[in-house]
A and B are shown apart, each in its own frame.
Chain A
Amino acid sequence: MGLFVAGQATRPVGAFLWGHLGDRIGRRNTLIYELIVMSSAMLGIALTPGYSDIGPISIYLLLLFRLFQGLSMGGEYGTAASWLVEYAATLEPKRRVLYGSWIPMAIYIGQISAVLGLIGVSIAFPGKFLFTYGWRILYIIGAFAAIVGIFIRVRLLESLLFIEIIEKKALENFPSIRVIKSQWRIILLLGLISFSLVSFYYTSQSFALAYMKVLGFNYMVVIEINALALAIAMLINYIAALLGDRKGRKPLIIFGLVSGIILTYPYILSIVSLNVIFATIFHIIYYATAWVIPYAVLQTYIAEHFSTNVRVSGTNIAYQSGNSAGGSLASLLGT
């Protein structure tokens, strides 16, 4: 838990630093450097010897790599959101939400891959191996996937809106500081929206899954229920993005927040019923309505609040401050 919160806590720092870089050296270069830090941290976590081999140093090393992982994650969202939404603004201005929704889509694909990897390792190495060494295999696979991602990002083109800013010589010297000073109210309010939505994410992806196991649901059944929810999430994400482009971003975010309030109790009660079918249905509905639908439009909604010369900074700081606070608070209160 301490390692988790440490990673969460460094996200706003990462948001500030990567935001500065994204608005100074460009979105493309920043995306490459973030992934280099991420893959290095993941490899570090995978290769750190256990407590029985090197004693407490293993914990300090894990903490250090986890901090770097959190630092990298702090910049990923806002930089990718700015790049995607700016690209859409140049190519297809009326499809900005659809372009932005590739961020959650990539997350769902990654999560499903992780679940499949987990199932694969559990089958290949039954017993305690998963908890002693098996997780390291998953981290190594993740690190290599990130290295492939670096090569893909090297081939990306820079955002044309950012190039316009360079040509106009309108780059900010200290974009992260500037955006906090000039748009602190908007950052605070966008951060609160992220905070609330992230609490729904952790309710379904952290508490509820742990709660199912505490109440006696089979470990593999819990993983399969969630894998089904993630697969459906990809379809819902696409539909919500199309809706967000046609009907606006705000109605979908309000829909998500209201759904979360209305459905949290029935959702948890469906788990208490110990009926796997009820629990599966409510898990899918809750995850789709309270998280997937608003999250499909959130990155575009946030990025659209900032001008190009401070967009990565503003998007990063607003989202990650809310994410860090919501994730840490929800995890501390719920565990």
Chain B
Amino acid sequence: MAFVGDPKLAWLYIGALGVGLAIPGLLAIFLLGDTMNKSMRG
């Protein structure tokens, strides 16, 4: 495991991972705009 080497430093790595992976989702939801099919029909 990545943090087996020095478990005390793992928080830095995991934290960066959590923050980094969130950015694409935030960008995507703003780019999506209002595209929902509100009636669900069709």
Residue of A nearest to B30 (CB): A254
Pick the residue among A164, A188, A208, A330 that contacts B21 (CB under 8 A). A330
Size of interface on A: residues with Cβ below 8 Å to B: 52
Chain A contact residues, majority secondary structure: helix
CB interface residues, B 17-42, toward A, < 8 Å: 17-19, 21-29, 31-32, 35-42
Contact A264 B36 (CB under 8 A): no
A121: min CB distance to chain B, Å: 25
- State A189–B8 Cα separation when bound (angstroms): 36
Contact A330 B17 (CB under 8 A): yes
Contacts of B14 in A (CB 8 A): 203, 207-208, 211, 264, 268, 334
Contacts of A265 in B (CB 8 A): 11, 15, 18-19
Contact B29 A257 (CB under 8 A): yes
- State A15–B31 Cα separation when bound (angstroms): 24
Q: Which range holds the interface residue count of chain B?
A: 20 to 34
Chain B contact residues, majority secondary structure: helix
Pick the residue among A89, A188, A195, A249 that contacts B25 (CB under 8 A). A195
Pick the residue among A164, A195, A305 that contacts B37 (CB under 8 A). A305
- State A334–B10 Cα separation when bound (angstroms): 9
Contact B21 A196 (CB under 8 A): yes
Contact B40 A189 (CB under 8 A): no
Pairs across A and B, CB under 8 Å, 26 listed? A188-B28, A190-B32, A192-B24, A192-B25, A193-B25, A193-B32, A200-B22, A208-B14, A210-B1, A214-B1, A254-B26, A260-B18, A260-B19, A261-B18, A261-B22, A264-B14, A264-B18, A264-B19, A264-B22, A265-B18, A269-B11, A272-B8, A304-B38, A305-B37, A308-B40, A335-B1
Supplied contacts A96-B40, A193-B28, A326-B21, 16 more A-B pairs, CB within 8 Å? A85-B40, A89-B41, A194-B25, A196-B22, A196-B23, A196-B26, A207-B17, A249-B36, A258-B26, A265-B11, A268-B18, A272-B8, A304-B36, A304-B38, A305-B35, A329-B21
* Chain B interface residues (CB < 8 Å from chain A): 1-4, 7-8, 10-11, 14-15, 17-19, 21-29, 31-32, 35-42
* Chain A interface residues (CB < 8 Å from chain B): 85-86, 89, 93, 96, 161, 164, 186, 188-190, 192-197, 199-200, 203, 207-208, 210-211, 214-215, 249-250, 253-254, 257-258, 260-261, 264-265, 268-269, 271-272, 301, 304-308, 326, 329-330, 333-335
